[in-house]
Amino acid sequence: MNETDNLIGRRGLMLVLSSPSGAGKTSIARRLLEEDAALEMSVSATTRKRRPGEVEGQDYHFVDRDSFHIMINNREFLEYARVFDHYYGTPEGAVMTALDSGRDVLFDIDWQGTQQIADAKREDLVSVFILPPSTRDLEHRLTKRAQDSAEVVAARMAKASDEISHYREYDYIIVNQDIDVSVTSVKAILTAERLKRDRQVGLTNFVKRLRAGQ
C-alpha cells in the first residue's frame, strides 16, 4: 500500500506472468507473493483429483467434470484450458471481487490463457513476459536431471522456443538475469500500474473536493 491508495482508493489489477518453463517465473512469483501484501494468487478450478497435501480453495477448487462444463456454459471462467485429460480454469467471480476491493491478483498462465483474459478484461490486465538471458542458461535449467537424454532436453527447448514466440503479446518484457533484479522490476511495474489514472477510481471525487477548496 502506498499513501495514494489510502487517500483515493483504487481498482486492483490482474498481473499475468508468463514465460517458457525454465526461465525462473515460479521463483519470481513466490517472492512477489511473500513481499507484496496487496497481491494474492489466483485460485484455479480443476477437474483433476486432489493430491495428498493439497487444500481445497487454496491450491485449487476441485470440481467434477459436469460442474466444470456447467461453469463453461455459464461463462464463469476468465480463461480455461484442457491439458491432456483434465480441465483448468479461472473463475471470474473471485477475481472481480478482489479487484473491486483494490487487491491485485497474480496469474501464472501461458500465452493462451493470457489471450483469453485480454479478450475478456483488457483494462484490468497487466502482462509481463519473462525471458531467459541466453539459450545456454535455459538449457541448463531445463536439464533437470543428469540422466535426461539429449532428445528430452531438445524437446523441452523446442517447447520453450514456441512459448517465447508469443512475447509480442505482452506489455512488459523482463530478461531474468538475476532474480533480485527481476523481482524489483516486477514490483516497480506493480507500483507504476497502481498509479495509472484509470485505476485510481476515487480521483474524480478527490479532485472535485480539491478544486472546491475542501
Site for its own copies in 8-67 (CB under 8 A): 8
Helix (H, G, I), strand (E, B) or coil at 188: helix
- Looking at the Cβ atoms of 146 and 210, the one nearer to its own copies is 210
Contact string 95-134 vs its own copies (x = CB under 8 A) = ----------------------------------x-xxxx
**Binding segment toward its own copies, per CB under 8 A, in 59-67, 70-78, 108-116, 189-197:** 189-197
Q: Which of 81, 94, 96, 157 binds its own copies (CB under 8 A)?
A: 157
- ∠ CA 167-169-175, nearest 5°, is 30
Strand 39-41 and strand 104-108: the pairing is parallel
Q: Name the segment binding its own copies (CB under 8 A); options: 41-49, 67-75, 89-97, 203-211.
A: 203-211
Is residue 213 at the binding interface for its own copies, with CB under 8 A as the rule?
yes
DSSP string computed for 34-98: HH-TTEEE--EEESSPPPTT--BTTTEEE--HHHHHHHHHTT-EEEEEEETTEEEEEEHHHHHHH
Grid cell 501484501 is found at 37
Binding site for its own copies (CB under 8 A): 2-4, 7-8, 129, 131-135, 138, 157, 161, 164-165, 167-168, 170-175, 177-178, 181, 184-185, 187-189, 191-193, 195-197, 200, 203, 206-207, 209-214
